[in-house]
Amino acid sequence: MQPRGRIESERRVAVPFIRGGRELCKVNCLRGVFRMTRELRCADLIPGCDFVAQGACDSDVMRKAAEHAKRAHRMIAIAMEVERKARAAIRDAAA
């Protein structure tokens, strides 16, 4: 059975805000709108890595991806250029 209503990306529904220096996602609960899970595949940036970060919004995905980059790829800090490429590679997760 197909869900009723519009399907929209979290990018349109989420309104980021700052609490305690950390960006969080404040999701507007709109009737008839289904949120899509967002994901980043590490292989899109580093060929051969099969890690996939998923979250309710881009900020959640980036937080998980940064933790993975530090742990698995031994990155001490994420360069701005790498962050820009990672944010551009985030997309709606396939169902």
The 10s digit of each residue's pLDDT in 15-51 is 444 444 444 454 444 444 556 899 999 999 999 999 9
One-letter-per-residue 3-state SS of 38-81: EEEEHHHCCCCCCCEEEECCHHHHHHHHHHHHHHHCCCCCCCHH
**pLDDT tier at 10, thresholds 50, 70, 90:** very low
Which residue do the tokens 């997309």 mark? 91
The domain segmentation of the chain, as residue ranges, is: 6-92
Of 13, 8, 37, give the one whose Cα is nearest residue 27.
13
pLDDT of residue 21: 45
Instruction: Give the global pTM.
Output: 0.64
Q: What is the DSSP letter of 90?
A: -
